[in-house]
Amino acid sequence: MEHHAGEDGLIDLHQRSIQELRELLDELYAEEQKVSYRRRVLHGKIDIMRAELVRRLKEDREAGKDVVSGGDIEQLIEILANDLRGVSRIDVTADDADEDDAQD
């Protein structure tokens, strides 16, 4: 019997053997580790990009350039408006299988 630890793995738990439950749990732990690693990598990339942006903005400010544009303010207003309405631009229910396949 093939196991999938996703939503289907939680169906009819009372009918599954202890071994099947352990296998499903192991799959969930493995998935959690994968997501955790991916999150750490993304946070590292975010930190690097923020540092580069700050460095460039400091250079621009020291050179007497404007560091905030009208477009920046409009974008900030849109982001804040969406946050206040509780609207997320990210579908957290989306499956990453297609993305993972593209990386292989």
Rounded Cα gap, residues 99 and 93, in angstroms: 14
Domain assignment of residue 52, yes or no: yes
Residues 49-80 have pLDDT tens digits of 999 999 998 998 899 888 777 788 888 888 88
Is the pLDDT assigned to residue 1 strictly greater than 50?
no
Q: What is the pLDDT of residue 76?
A: 82
Domain assignment of residue 1, yes or no: no
Q: What is the pLDDT of residue 89?
A: 60
Residues 76-100 have pLDDT tens digits of 888 888 767 665 566 656 665 555 5
Domain assignment of residue 81, yes or no: yes
Is the pLDDT assigned to residue 44 strictly greater than 60?
yes
Which residue segment(s) compose the domain that 29 sits in? 7-103
Rounded Cα gap, residues 17 and 3, in angstroms: 12
Domain assignment of residue 43, yes or no: yes
Q: Which amino acid is at 49?
A: M
More confident residue, 26 or 96: 26
Output the pTM of the full model: 0.54
Rounded Cα gap, residues 104 and 71, in angstroms: 38
Q: Are the C-beta atoms of residues 9 and 24 closer than 8 Å to each other?
A: yes
Q: Measured at the alpha carbon of residue 56, what is the angle toward residues 61 and 71, in degrees to the nearest 5? A: 75
Rounded Cα gap, residues 103 and 96, in angstroms: 11
Rounded Cα gap, residues 50 and 48, in angstroms: 6
Domain assignment of residue 51, yes or no: yes
Domain assignment of residue 55, yes or no: yes
Count of domains in the chain?
1
Is the pLDDT assigned to residue 28 strictly greater than 50?
yes
